[in-house]
Structure 1
Amino acid sequence: MIQLTDLIATVAGEADDVLVRLTRAVELSGQLSELGDHLVGHFVDEARRGGASWAEIGESLGVTKQAAQKRFVPKESPELTKPSMDRYTQRSRRVIALARHHARFSERIGTEHLLLGLLDESGGLAAKTIAKLESGDGSTRLAVLHRLDAEPRQRPDKQPYSTHCKKSLELAVREALRMGHMFIGTEHILLGVLLAEGGTAAAVLNATGVTHAAAARHVESVVSGPPQALPGA
């Protein structure tokens, strides 16, 4: 268990100025709260994969079934509220914009559009990871474009992000926190997409040889080192 004395020592060791220490303590408090949320979310996801009902999960959390679902089930919506976009790197923000562009004739913005955005941002670590792991040069792009060819091409008035897309971005945050990063890079989005097992992008990536385990190993080998606070790829 994390001890208060350990946290105090951590903050005190980072700066001599008392106001800088206070600012750092506030930042650390927010990070710990977020880590706690994602810790619970991880085990909620595990319980669901294990066959637990929302009623059972709610009982374990001390809330109603409806409250548990409201907290942990992403809903389609036109906005992205978690995490705040200021934590996305410039490349990741372009990925989101590119995903919306690729989805301009679709009913919703899905993980397949997010994947195309990752591939378009060719300088990002996600695109480089896919290129290294995919079974054939360009096979992932061809596979996802083939999926999109079967969709009707008529843009609705309100175009929401799909539940799988929003879940992928939630899992991207969890992957960033697991790696000790306070930014959301393209590599984290890729890992989140791969963890959202019901999404089209995860199915395409797995079919072309890009698995979460292999992608995580490659990403971690590239970014290995002390925890980072500055934007990455």
Structure 2
Amino acid sequence: MLERFTSGAREAVVGARQAATDQQRPVGTEHLLLALTADPGPGGTAVREFAPGLDAAAVRAAIERLVPSPRPLLDAQDAEALRSVGIDLDAVLARIEETFGPAALERPKPRRGWFRRTPVEPPVGRFVPRAKKVLELALREALRLGDGEIGSGHLLLGLLREGEGLGVRILVDAGVDLAALRQACEERLGHGRAA
């Protein structure tokens, strides 16, 4: 499917993956929205017009608000408490990593059991199912409109059609009229009613 993406849409997907990796998270719809804020094509133009205050910094702040970073195993208060009894936490952590490897203190990933399935979050930089659905819906939007390629505008239309991810929630929280945004995006793609 990626071979049908325009260079702008590919850049948006790569930008979403990079943003998620920078935040040490899997790629979600919020990262696709973040990448679209910098896109010069129809998708990014429509987002900037209908959500003028929703730039990359605002989307990053919304992501941090909606999906807070996991609490570290040991924080500054823990270090101070240990220091008060004569234990140097930094030295202990360094020794653990030296002995057991750099990933020794990472939180264990949930595992599947015999009788139940524990949901497992995709690794950093991988697409969550909802973000994969947006890419699939972008293809469907391009087909619906009779376009031969999938562009950034189709990514935005897929994001809006999926309708339940954090990307849409960020748009709604910013007061964006989703129906008007969809119509404007279609117009920029050369479809729909002209304003």
Q: What's the TM-score, normalizing by structure 2? A: 0.63
Q: Larger radius of gyration, structure 1 or 2?
A: 2
- Corresponding residue to 1:163 among 112, 129, 136: 129
- In the other structure, the counterpart of 2:59 is 144
What's the CA shift string for 1:157-186, capped at 9, x where partnerless? 664201110111111111111111121000
Aligned equivalent of 2:42? 125
CA contact under 8 A between 2:37 and 2:54: conserved in structure 1?
Answer: no
Aligned residue in 2 for 1:59: none
Aligned pairs for 1:53-64 (under 5 A) are none
Partner of 2:110: none
1:31 match: none
Query: Do 2:43 and 2:153's aligned partners in 1 also have CA atoms closer than 8 Å?
Result: yes
Q: Provide the C-alpha distance between the structure 2 equivalents of 1:117 and 1:153, rounded to a whole number of angstroms.
A: 26
Q: 1:170 to 1:197 in 2, by over 3 A?
A: same
1:16-69, Cα deviation, whole Å (9 max, x unpaired): xxxxxxxxxxxxxxxxxxxxxxxxxxxxxxxxxxxxxxxxxxxxxxxxxxxxxx
Q: CA deviation at 1:194?
A: 1.4
Equivalent residue pairs, number:
139
Distance 1:142 1:157, change over 3 A: closer
Alignment match, 2:175: 209
The verdict on how the C-alpha distance between 1:195 and 1:106 changes in structure 2, with shifts beyond 3 A counting, is farther
Percent identity over paired residues: 34
| CA shift in 2, pair 1:185/1:211, >3 Å | farther
Query: 2:29 pairs with 111, 121, 125, which one?
Result: 111
| Superposition pairs of residues 25-36 of structure 1, within 5 angstroms | none
- SS, match of residue 96 in structure 1: helix
- Residues 194-219 of structure 1 show CA distances to partners (whole Å, capped at 9, x for unaligned) of 12222000111122233442122112
Contact 1:176 1:183 in 2 (8 A): yes
- When residues 138 and 158 of structure 1 are mapped into structure 2, their CA distance, relative to the original with a 3 A threshold, is closer
- Displacement of 1:153 in angstroms is 9.2
- After TM superposition, the structure 1 stretch with the greater mean CA deviation from structure 2, 98-107 or 182-191, is 98-107
Deviation, structure 1 residue 147: 2.9
Secondary structure at the aligned position of 1:139 is classed as coil
Q: Counterpart of 1:198?
A: 164
- Report the AA paired with residue 61 of structure 2: H
1:181 aligned onto 2:147: yes
Query: Could you say what secondary structure the match of 1:204 adopts?
Result: helix
Unaligned runs of 5+ in 2: 73-105, 107-121
Superposition deviation, residue 143 in structure 1: 4.1
Distance 1:219 1:158 in 2: 30
Contact 1:191 1:212 in 2 (8 A): no
More helix by share: 1
Residues 158 and 132 from structure 1, CA distance in 2 versus in 1: closer, same or farther, beyond 3 angstroms? closer
Report if the CA contact (8 A) 1:106-1:153 is conserved: no
Matched, 1:224 2:190: yes
- In 2, distance between residues paired with 1:94 and 1:179? 22
- Structure 1 residues 139 and 174, CA gap change in structure 2 (3 angstroms): same
